[in-house]
């Protein structure tokens, strides 16, 4: 007779299947017990190196002592008043800090929310309120969340949009530039001009929203001339430019915000994920006059800017500065890229290694072709997990592995992870042969 334990990994997995819907898809078959910096342990005591970081949320590592201390300190004072009912100084101070640090030499304001999707929803609301226009242009391969507008803006059907329509109207998609897959900057910008002919009068467009580096879509950085081109189109037609920095923000790309790699400034920016270092908080930051377009009461939410999450966010910004995490992102990213590039000869499936700072991805194609190699990608991910290295897959074709290790990762743990990666890449080639 098999003895089952309801609280081991297998037991929890069958309880999960019975108690929670399959739509909440779960990648791992083990259950977290505790986590520290770049490592986590499951309920059976097995250790993993976490190169997922809660999907780009713990750039400052799991349970950074300063962040834990800041949350504890707030916990002893108050946990919730609803900012819109009884405000608190820490929210205002966090807005002041973000306003100072977000790109753009003009007066800014920030409103806080809870999730990335909520930030996106509110950025669109603000853009519509300011311009009095309905239309929004987004990009193929883009991901903006699982709410109705988030899904409408998202440019990837499976699994995000299947069965959930109809979506809000007046949302249009143009191709995101992707030289590897044959879309140039000129093609992408031309497609927007074509939308103005075929689908919507530019005078009816409130905003263009884009990710400075596409996240779920495959870690494709927006070329500088594309970002400049977007700014130009927006300026010509009175359209607002929204940079969705939910995944790129907070030192991941080697700058506090990915837009700092560009010489143009967005009107609005959405932020979330690593802002809270593991606590749920998001925000919209942008031009003060634009941010003020919504009438009092139009923005907010019961938990928006929760005091514990705000306390964590203050500590996150301090840790990024004190530990020079932007520089560390660049240094670690260079090491990872060098390792992957050096393996190109032995691993012919490596079609591309890319990304700014530590927002690095490796894309796999069938050897000698430009055909996405999904099986190879899955094999690398599965074998790495067997060896205790947690890697995430992304990309419209699911043939990209993205690396999102905490930027605070210890050298020895980083080296160990690179060693595992090298081994599994080589092994996966042997299996493919």
Ligand X SMILES: Cc1ncc(COP(=O)(O)O)c(C=O)c1O
Which tokens hold the place of 271?
A: 């932020």
Of 103, 141, 145, 372, the one binding ligand X by CB under 6 A: 145
- Position closest to ligand X via CB: 116
Taking the complex as a whole, how short is the minimal distance between the CB of residue 430 and ligand X, in angstroms? 34
Nearer to ligand X, 32 or 55 (CB): 55
Structure tokens at 366: 């069938």
Dihedral sign, Cα of residue 138, residue 202, residue 195, residue 162 = positive
Q: Whole-number minimum distance, CB 216 to ligand X, in Å? A: 6
Note whether 247 binds ligand X by CB under 6 A.
Answer: yes
Is the previous residue joined to 37 through a cis bond, with omega within 30 degrees of 0?
no
CA neighbours closer than 13 Å in the CB half-sphere of residue 263? 4
Instruction: Name the residue nearer to ligand X (CB basis): 202 or 215.
Output: 215
Q: Of 111, 117, 271, 420, which one interacts with ligand X (CB under 6 A)?
A: 117
**Position 243 contacts ligand X (CB under 6 A):** no
Name residues contacting ligand X, limited to 180-239 (CB under 6 A).
Answer: 211, 215-216
Contact pattern from residue 264 through residue 283 relative to ligand X, giving x for each residue in contact according to CB under 6 A and a dash for the rest? --------x-----------
Tell me which stretch binds ligand X (CB under 6 A): 38-46, 140-148, 260-268, 380-388: 140-148
Q: Which of residues 300-319 bind ligand X (CB under 6 A)?
A: none
Position 94 contacts ligand X (CB under 6 A)? no
Using CB under 6 A as the binding rule, the residues of this chain from 54 to 73 that contact ligand X are 55
Rank residues 83 and 143 by Cβ distance to ligand X and give the closer one: 143
Say how many residues touch ligand X, by CB under 6 A. 15
Among 39, 42, 50, 244, binds ligand X (CB under 6 A): 244
Q: Which residues contact 29 (CB under 8 A, 6 or more apart)?
A: 9, 13
Beta bridge partners of 135: 205
CB of 214 to ligand X, least distance (A): 8
**Which residues are at the interface with ligand X (CB under 6 A)?**
55, 115-117, 120, 143-145, 211, 215-216, 244, 246-247, 272
């Amino acid at each position: 007779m098999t003895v089952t334990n309801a609280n081991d990994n297998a037991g929890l997995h069958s309880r999960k299947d019975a108690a929670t819907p399959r739509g909440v898809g779960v990648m791992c078959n083990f259950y977290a017990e505790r986590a520290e910096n770049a490592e986590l342990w499951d309920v059976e005591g097995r250790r993993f190196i976490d190169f997922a970081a809660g999907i780009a949320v713990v750039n400052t590592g799991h349970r950074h002592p300063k962040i834990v201390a800041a949350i504890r300190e707030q916990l002893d004072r108050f946990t919730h008043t609803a900012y819109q009912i009884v405000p608190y100084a820490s929210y205002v101070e966090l807005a002041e800090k973000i306003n100072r640090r977000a790109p753009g030499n003009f007066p800014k304001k920030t409103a806080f929310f809870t999730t990335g999707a909520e930030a996106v929803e509110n950025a669109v609301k603000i853009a519509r309120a300011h311009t009095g226009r309905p239309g929004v242009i987004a990009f193929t391969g883009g991901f903006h969340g699982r709410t109705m507008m988030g899904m409408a803006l998202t440019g990837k059907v499976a699994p995000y949009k299947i069965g959930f329509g109809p979506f809000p109207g007046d949302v249009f998609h143009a191709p995101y530039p992707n030289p590897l897959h044959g879309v140039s900057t000129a093609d992408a910008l031309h497609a927007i001009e074509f939308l103005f002919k075929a689908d919507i009068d530019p005078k009816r467009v409130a905003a263009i929203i884009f990710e400075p580096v596409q996240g779920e879509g495959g870690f494709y950085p927006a070329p500088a001339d594309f970002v400049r081109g977007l700014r130009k189109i927006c300026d010509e037609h009175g359209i607002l430019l929204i940079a969705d920095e939910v995944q790129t923000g907070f030192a991941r790309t080697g700058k506090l915000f990915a837009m700092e790699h560009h010489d143009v400034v967005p009107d609005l920016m959405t932020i979330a994920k690593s802002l809270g270092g593991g606590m749920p908080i998001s925000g919209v930051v942008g031009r003060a006059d634009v941010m003020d377009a919504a009438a009092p009461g139009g923005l907010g939410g019961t938990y928006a800017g929760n005091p514990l999450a705000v306390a964590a966010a203050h500590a996150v910004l301090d840790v990024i500065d004190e530990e020079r995490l932007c520089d560390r992102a660049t240094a670690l990213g260079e090491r990872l890229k060098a390792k992957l590039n050096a393996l190109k000869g032995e691993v012919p499936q490596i079609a591309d290694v890319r990304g700014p700072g530590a927002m690095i991805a490796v894309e796999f194609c069938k050897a000698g072709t430009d055909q996405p190699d999904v099986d190879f990608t899955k094999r690398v991910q599965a074998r790495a997990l067997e060896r205790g290295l947690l890697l995430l897959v992304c990309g419209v074709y699911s043939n990209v592995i993205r690396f999102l290790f905490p930027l605070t990762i210890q050298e020895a743990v980083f080296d160990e992870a690179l060693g595992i990666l090298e081994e599994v890449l080589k092994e996966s080639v042997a299996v493919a042969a």
